[in-house]
Structure 1
Amino acid sequence: MKKILIMVGAGLETIPTITRAKQMGIYVVATDLNPDAPGFEHADESIIGCVYTPEKTVAALKIWAAKGAKPDGVMCAAVDAPHTVAAVAKEFGLRAVSTETAALATDKLAMKDRFKEVGVPIPWYKEIFSAEELEQILSERKESLVIKPVDSRGARGVLRLTYGSDKMPASEWAFEQAQNESPTKRVMVESYLDGPQISTEGFVVCGKAYTPGFSDRNYEFLDKFAPHIIENGGELPSFLPDDIQAAVKDLSGKAAIALGVDHGVAKGDMVVHNGKPYVIEMAARLSGGYFCSHEIPWNTGVDFVGVAIKLAMGETPAPEEMIPEYQKGVAQRYLFPEHGKVVAIDGVEEAKKIEGLRMVEIRCEIGETIPPTTSHPARAGVVIAVADTRENALIAAQKAVNCIKITTNKI
């Protein structure tokens, strides 16, 4: 009889994890509030349950389990729902992140408090309660800040306030933008540390951290989309020196363990400032953007999602399964059309013929309205290229971006 895995969330980027689990001979039950969630077509069974409301997902699964079914594992991918994973695990006696760890991983203020408590290097930070307080902090600190909602995701409401710039938004507007994206209406600020930013992704198994995922994040459009902070993909392997990479990986593992991850995955947003690594944020889940499902395997040979599924099923993977076999070049770039109604999409088939291009995904259709680029969900597509070096992969990815034209009419 097949083992059963509960997949919390069935969005587009969850599909690779669902299909990988099925390849491993696992029966996948996906939950999502959207009855048309694309992942439902790939799962063995579908259940309507709100990804971000643990009690609703648990209630739906209890009705499902009353028929005699019992899950063997639970996880989420490309959706920030470790609190729901924790609730399902607690209800059915499964091995997953604890309720405390999930709470820390989804509350940026509590997360920073924990890191400060245990000595994990982080930017200066503070919870704020008004635009006036933000104005006062800017005046006192005289440095660039990041303002963000304490408990949102996908870069929603995250703004860079560049001290001394005549383009810096009004404090009242910035505070409202951040607060409106917080379900609990809580806002925080932190120092903006300049320097290379890195995405890490790894595992903690038997108290030891493994970090096969290591990508240089691309922020070439910081000025274009300012004050919004929009990432435009990344490149692997990293350009950073080996000793800096080792320090970042070590810190990423310590941060995951500090959150309480002891048998699972963790994704880090890191920065190297003046030669020293700092943690910006840490998530207790599989990443989105196809980092874990495509980029890491193509870069390292590590079956990252397969290992994560084993952990979710309560198994203990062998160390060699989590250690890179090689370092191939991988580059990812997103598509950012102008705000407006899509009237034409051209060049996709030509882009697919570019040597080294492994993925072209268009996320919009003719007639659809492209919103202003204020957060990551505004990305209209993605391309990923693989080559012998990161430089050649980047050339292929950029060729694809230049080839694809998504034309919009201004609204």
Structure 2
Amino acid sequence: MKKTLIMIGAGLETVPAIQRAVELGAHVVAMDLNPHAPGFKYAHESVIGCVYTPDKAVAALNEWAAKGGRPDGVMCAAVDAPHTVAAVADHFGLKAVSRETAALATDKLAMKDRFREAGIPIPWYREIFSAAEFYELLQERQETLVIKPVDSRGARGVLRVVHRAANMPSPEWAFEHSRKESPTGRVMVESYLDGPQISTEGFVVEGKAYTPGFSDRNYEFLERFAPHIIENGGQLPSFLPAETSQAVKELSGRAAIALGIEHGVAKGDMVVHKGKPYVIEMAARLSGGYFCSHEIPWNTGVDFVGIAIRLALGETPSPDEMTPKFQKGVAQRYLFPDKGRVVSINGVEEARKIEGIRMVEIRTEIGAEISAATSHPARSGVVMGVAETMEKAVENVEKAVKCIRIITE
């Protein structure tokens, strides 16, 4: 009998996961609050419900189940909603992250507390309650600090504040900017650790961690978008030495297990500072930005999303399936047009014709208003490519980005 998978979220970046589940023979029930969510047209059934409110999600799925539906698994992809996945799994008796793990994965302060207890290397951190406290910490520590909401998503409200920099924002503005992006009004600060930043993505199966996903993150626009921290894609395989990469992977796996992930996926934000790996954050879900759905398979040959779907349905993949088969070059860059109203979009087809380009996705249109880039959802498009080496992939993708001209006025 065909298994039924509930997909929490049906946004643009969740579409590949829905498509893969259908290819694997699952009956997909997608849930999203947006009645026009793009993923709905690829799913077998759609349910209108809030992906970020567990009780409302369960209530909406209960109505679906009352008509004869019975799920075999639940998951989310490119949506930071493990707490909703956990609630749905708990209600229907499915295999997924526990409510405790989901709570840790969506509360950065609780997450850091757990990592500290488990001996996981992390940056110095502290919850703060006022702009005055933030100012005092800047004076006391005399270092670059990151201030951010305890419980937000997509880099919203995350700021890098360089102590005594000429363009340093006022502590009052920084504190309020972060606080307003927190649903619970909580703010924290942590040390900004210099060094290469890495995205990891892997699985924990029967207590053992596997980390096939490993990408160097690209922060070339730190100054352009300061004090906001906006990532501009990344590239893989990593430039890091094999020994350092292995240390990062091992730490990523330890962090996932420390959060309580026993049978599922884990996405890590890592940094190598003075030769030592640290965990910045860890998510108990599939990543956005097409990392798990496109970049990892292109880079390694691992069917990452397919394995995640099977885990959600209670299956146990073999270690061989989770082990990279090769290391091809992959690169990704985003489009950041100037602020204003879009008057023309040119060069898209030219970009698609460049060697190795696999994806050119434009997320704006003529007449749309482009706001200042203050978080990851502000990106207006993405370009991705594959080559035999990482360096060649980066070269091709950056060439394609230069072809695309999104003109604003």
TM-score (norm 2): 1.00
Where 1:308 maps in the other structure, the secondary structure is helix
- Are residue 57 (structure 1) and residue 57 (structure 2) matched? yes
1:299-321 Cα offsets, whole Å, 9 max, x none, are 00000000000000010001100
Partner Cα distance (2:115, 2:133) in 1: 24
Give the deviation of 1:2 after TM superposition.
1.4
Give the deviation of 1:69 after TM superposition.
1.4
Number of residue pairs the alignment of both structures matches: 409
Q: Letter of the 2:158 partner, please give it.
A: V
Q: Letter of the 2:178 partner, please give it.
A: A
Partner Cα distance (2:69, 2:108) in 1: 36
1:78-126 Cα offsets, whole Å, 9 max, x none, are 0000000000000100000000000000000000000001100000000
In the TM superposition, what are the counterparts of 1:199-210 in structure 2 within 5 Å? 199-210=199-210
Partner Cα distance (2:59, 2:349) in 1: 45
Partner Cα distance (2:27, 2:97) in 1: 21
Q: Which residue of 1 aligns with 2:27?
A: 27
Q: Which residue of 2 aligns with 1:14?
A: 14
Q: Which residue of 2 aligns with 1:377?
A: 377
Partner Cα distance (2:176, 2:342) in 1: 30
1:281-335 Cα offsets, whole Å, 9 max, x none, are 0000000000000000000000000000000001000110000000000000000
Give the deviation of 1:371 after TM superposition.
1.2
Where 2:96 maps in the other structure, the secondary structure is coil
Q: Which residue of 2 aligns with 1:136?
A: 136
Where 2:117 maps in the other structure, the secondary structure is helix
Where 2:374 maps in the other structure, the secondary structure is coil
Partner Cα distance (1:32, 1:56) in 2: 11
Partner Cα distance (1:227, 1:320) in 2: 43
Give the deviation of 1:19 after TM superposition.
0.2
Q: Which residue of 2 aligns with 1:116?
A: 116
Partner Cα distance (1:255, 1:215) in 2: 18
Partner Cα distance (1:124, 1:27) in 2: 45
Q: Letter of the 1:368 partner, please give it.
A: A
Where 1:147 maps in the other structure, the secondary structure is strand
* Unaligned stretches of 5+ residues in structure 2: none
Q: Which residue of 2 aligns with 1:5?
A: 5
1:192-223 Cα offsets, whole Å, 9 max, x none, are 00000000000000000000000000000000
Where 2:264 maps in the other structure, the secondary structure is strand
Q: Which residue of 2 aligns with 1:174?
A: 174
Partner Cα distance (1:36, 1:400) in 2: 31
Partner Cα distance (2:305, 2:157) in 1: 29
Q: Letter of the 1:316 partner, please give it.
A: T
Q: Which residue of 2 aligns with 1:315?
A: 315
1:157-207 Cα offsets, whole Å, 9 max, x none, are 000001121111000000000001000000000000000000000000000
Partner Cα distance (1:55, 1:341) in 2: 39
Where 2:80 maps in the other structure, the secondary structure is coil
Partner Cα distance (2:155, 2:137) in 1: 22
Q: Letter of the 1:137 partner, please give it.
A: L
Where 1:30 maps in the other structure, the secondary structure is strand
Q: Which residue of 2 aligns with 1:386?
A: 386
Partner Cα distance (1:203, 1:371) in 2: 36
Partner Cα distance (1:346, 1:68) in 2: 49
* Unaligned stretches of 5+ residues in structure 1: none
- Are residue 225 (structure 1) and residue 233 (structure 2) matched? no
Q: Which residue of 2 aligns with 1:163?
A: 163
Partner Cα distance (1:28, 1:338) in 2: 39
Q: Which residue of 1 aligns with 2:290?
A: 290
Q: Which residue of 2 aligns with 1:151?
A: 151
Q: Letter of the 1:352 partner, please give it.
A: R
In the TM superposition, what are the counterparts of 1:237-386 in structure 2 within 5 Å? 237-386=237-386
Partner Cα distance (1:356, 1:5) in 2: 34
Give the deviation of 1:224 after TM superposition.
0.4
Give the deviation of 1:245 after TM superposition.
0.2
Partner Cα distance (2:10, 2:84) in 1: 14
Where 2:343 maps in the other structure, the secondary structure is strand
Runs of 4+ in 1 over 4 A off after TM superposition: none
Q: Letter of the 1:310 partner, please give it.
A: R
Where 1:151 maps in the other structure, the secondary structure is coil
Q: Letter of the 2:255 partner, please give it.
A: A
1:363-402 Cα offsets, whole Å, 9 max, x none, are 0011111111000000000000100000100011001100
Where 2:62 maps in the other structure, the secondary structure is helix
Where 2:147 maps in the other structure, the secondary structure is strand
Where 1:325 maps in the other structure, the secondary structure is coil
Partner Cα distance (2:178, 2:54) in 1: 24
Q: Letter of the 1:219 partner, please give it.
A: Y
Q: Letter of the 1:82 partner, please give it.
A: P
The alignment-based identity, stated in percent, is: 75
Q: Letter of the 1:27 partner, please give it.
A: H
- Deviation larger for 61-70 or 378-387: 61-70
